[in-house]
Structure 1
Amino acid sequence: MTSSTKPVLATVAAIAGVSAPTVSKVINGRDDVSESTRLRVQAALDKVGYRSPVQRRARTSGPAMIDLVVGVHDGAYSMEILRGILDYAVSVDVDVVVSSHTPNKLARVDHDEWAQRMLESGRTGIIFVTSEITTAQVTAFAKRGIAVMVIDPLNPPPPGGFNSVGATNWAGGKAAAEHLLDLGHERIAFFGGPALAECSVARLHGYLAALMGRGIASRPEYIFDGAFNRESGAEATRKVLALTKPPTAIFAASDTIALGVLEVARQYGLRVPEDLSLVGFDGTPLAEQTLPRLTSVAQPLREMGRAALRGVIRLSRGEQLDSAHTELATELVVRDSTAPLIR
């Protein structure tokens, strides 16, 4: 510790009501400090504008570097997000390092070691895509001054929260269901993603609101949780087609879930949309590539990526965002997979 640092530590210690060695522990990311003390010290450090030597080097040596972590392996969705991030990164001279972590892998990571490696290698922020974020993760990055942004988080914010970007999932779910209702369908199934995924829950609630608005009771046997993949859509489709009264329409909470629906419909000899109408969600290029072309609720995925990168850059500079959560508007794009009910 240099002699010029000691007066700063003494000032911070006085503001936080702790000892100078405790301040030093917080600066160096030590774990033997209580969370409440760490937060007090960090607030005092922010007040005096102190950055550790490592942090100063990270912010002054070359272009800013941001980590991008993709949690859910939906290729079309992730690629659209990535294109938005990379397009904006080029325009603002930011380097993006992409990595892939499954939910199980994220749960096993030592977040303090991860955050420290990021700091020492000059990373200034991290963007998580469709990941479950824990208090331990938020704390590990926050105490090292690394900004965190999440796109379509799979869980509600933990204590302390995080900044996030998403779409108007509830409104999109309602629009999808209302489109099918307008076509005369009343037996409409909903195939969702993970049960606790906030985006999927919001889409489900929008679907339920649309049914309620028309005085139609929801059917528990038509509602399925699963994963945002083709296999989940296929499994749910087999189950509803085995019912005495199968649905005449399906709202799939992602375009990849809808691919599984189309696959099983063909296996069962059902025509889409003549025998079964289908709406997806995401508006990825897949929607134009299926046969028939998929009616889908389009998210502005590239703009979501750009918004996330803009936000994490501002946070890494110590700026405050206007809102902890940014929602961008969805749009129902009607193609060939929906049609009026044939009675």
Structure 2
Amino acid sequence: MASDNARNVTIAMIARLAGVSVPTVSRVVNGRSDVSPQTRERVEELLNRYGYRRRSAGRRNAAALIDLVFNDLDSPWAVEIIRGVEDVALSSGVGTVVSAIHWRISSAKQWLDNMRTRTSSGVIFVTSMVNPPLQAELRRLRLPVVIIDPAGVDPQESPTIGATNWAGSLSANQYLLGLGHRRIGFIAGPPHLTCSRARLDGYRAALGAAGIPVDDSLIRAGNFYHEAGYTAGAQLLALPEPPTAIFASSDQMALGVYEAVRKRGLRVPDDISVVGFDDLPEVRWCSPPLTTVRQPLAEMGMLAARTVLRLAGGEKTEIQRLELATELVLRDSAAPPRHH
């Protein structure tokens, strides 16, 4: 099979199969424009079919780059992951290429085309929808893949790295229950993400263990961003019987809740307690500093980088799913509820 011989594919072989000269294939590989569209299409189809990757001279077996792929890069959450990957990459003498595919198939295809021209050691996907065709192509290129916080899809052969989302949510809501709160609002993350569903399950488990029925009117949809937290927070505060505490599935949404509380003329935690999830660097500087579940984002990036480099070196991973511990960080945004 072609995939078994991917490492032996040469420009001369592609030229012979395409019925063109070696310099013509070289021009296609290097993105030159002086090739007819028909010839370029035929050569690129063969390059993709046989898994050809351009290699730098003298670095055929070198670990040169880690490809780090996000859906989006507009969150400090992503910065923490990058910091962890970079720490390992720099100490290993490896570069990092950071890309965002914005949930679009066309962007994923363009990333894959660009990646074929690099001497990549492996790929780290962060909460990306890694569909079966993309995974199959990466396997054909013999590129190891590690997934951080996988979406709700079967990662198949790829190791995955996450955090103890269920336990983190459970501890945060148990803390609020321990303070005396009985009506706790919950703002969820995107439902297709495994971490979002685990945080919702942790919330339900905490209430169930305390013998408190889950009130669906206190659960609101979100997307991990400030705007969603603001909107959901405003809706919860406008209820005839509003919650006395709100647990947001991300710090950014928790800060959105802060603004909804402020606009209603209320104060955190005097009138309502707020707890987040992530422990992003800025939440210790907001007013009041946010109580939150620390997710070890940089450590997740470091572990992903170490894993992909080990796989690139021919080692095997014994555990396919790794979860790093979360920790409840107590600050000043939660207090016992007021009794009217």
Give 2:119's aligned residue.
Answer: 122
Q: Which residue identity is paired with 2:175?
A: H
1:176 to partner: Cα distance: 0.7
> Aligned ranges for residues 27-42 of structure 1 at < 5 Å?
29-30=48-49
- Residue 140 in 1 paired to residue 137 in 2? yes
- Residue 151 in 1 paired to residue 170 in 2? no
Q: Which residue identity is paired with 2:201?
A: H
> Aligned ranges for residues 181-196 of structure 1 at < 5 Å?
181-196=177-192
Question: Structure 1 residues 180, 72: closer, same or farther in 2, change over 3 A?
Answer: farther
Question: Structure 1 residues 148, 136: closer, same or farther in 2, change over 3 A?
Answer: same
Counterparts of 2:228 and 2:52, CA distance in 1:
48
1:53 to partner: Cα distance: 8.2
Counterparts of 2:74 and 2:275, CA distance in 1:
18
1:305 to partner: Cα distance: 0.6
Counterparts of 2:52 and 2:48, CA distance in 1:
11
Q: Give the aligned CA root-mean-square deviation in angstroms.
A: 2.5
- Residue 300 in 1 paired to residue 296 in 2? yes
Counterparts of 1:53 and 1:167, CA distance in 2:
34
Q: Which residue identity is paired with 1:170?
A: W
| Residues 147-156 or 242-251, more deviating | 147-156
Q: SS of 2:65's equivalent?
A: strand
Counterparts of 1:336 and 1:58, CA distance in 2:
56
- Alignment deviations for residues 151-201 of structure 1 (CA, whole Å, 9 cap, x no partner): 11232325x353211100000010010010000001001101111111011
> Aligned ranges for residues 248-287 of structure 1 at < 5 Å?
248-287=244-283
Contact 1:58 1:120 in 2 (8 A): no
1:119 to partner: Cα distance: 3.4
1:79 to partner: Cα distance: 1.1
Counterparts of 2:295 and 2:91, CA distance in 1:
23
Give 1:41's aligned residue.
Answer: none
Counterparts of 1:203 and 1:74, CA distance in 2:
22
Counterparts of 1:287 and 1:335, CA distance in 2:
10
Counterparts of 1:327 and 1:168, CA distance in 2:
6
Q: Which residue identity is paired with 2:139?
A: A
Give 1:225's aligned residue.
Answer: 221
Q: Which runs of 5+ in 1 are unaligned?
A: 10-20, 32-50
Q: SS of 1:318's equivalent?
A: coil
Give 1:97's aligned residue.
Answer: 97
Give 1:48's aligned residue.
Answer: none
Contact 1:116 1:144 in 2 (8 A): no
Counterparts of 1:62 and 1:30, CA distance in 2:
24
- Alignment deviations for residues 222-243 of structure 1 (CA, whole Å, 9 cap, x no partner): 1122211000001101111121
1:56 to partner: Cα distance: 9.7
Contact 2:69 2:98 in 1 (8 A): yes
- Alignment deviations for residues 307-327 of structure 1 (CA, whole Å, 9 cap, x no partner): 010111112223211211110
- How many residues matched? 299
Q: SS of 1:275's equivalent?
A: coil
- Alignment deviations for residues 70-125 of structure 1 (CA, whole Å, 9 cap, x no partner): 2244522111111111111111111001122211x2x23464x6445423321121
- Alignment deviations for residues 40-66 of structure 1 (CA, whole Å, 9 cap, x no partner): xxxxxxxxxxx9785797963655211
Q: Please report the TM-score for the alignment, with normalisation by the length of structure 1.
A: 0.81
- Residue 210 in 1 paired to residue 229 in 2? no
1:29 to partner: Cα distance: 4.2
Counterparts of 2:73 and 2:252, CA distance in 1:
10
Give 1:341's aligned residue.
Answer: 337
Q: SS of 1:128's equivalent?
A: strand
Contact 1:58 1:124 in 2 (8 A): no
Give 1:78's aligned residue.
Answer: 78
Q: Which residue identity is paired with 1:64?
A: A
1:280 to partner: Cα distance: 0.3
> Aligned ranges for residues 327-338 of structure 1 at < 5 Å?
327-338=323-334
- Identical amino acids, percent of aligned pairs: 42
Counterparts of 1:209 and 1:57, CA distance in 2:
56
| Residues 116-125 or 219-228, more deviating | 116-125
Q: Which runs of 5+ in 2 are unaligned?
A: 10-16, 18-44
Contact 1:125 1:147 in 2 (8 A): yes
Give 2:106's aligned residue.
Answer: 108
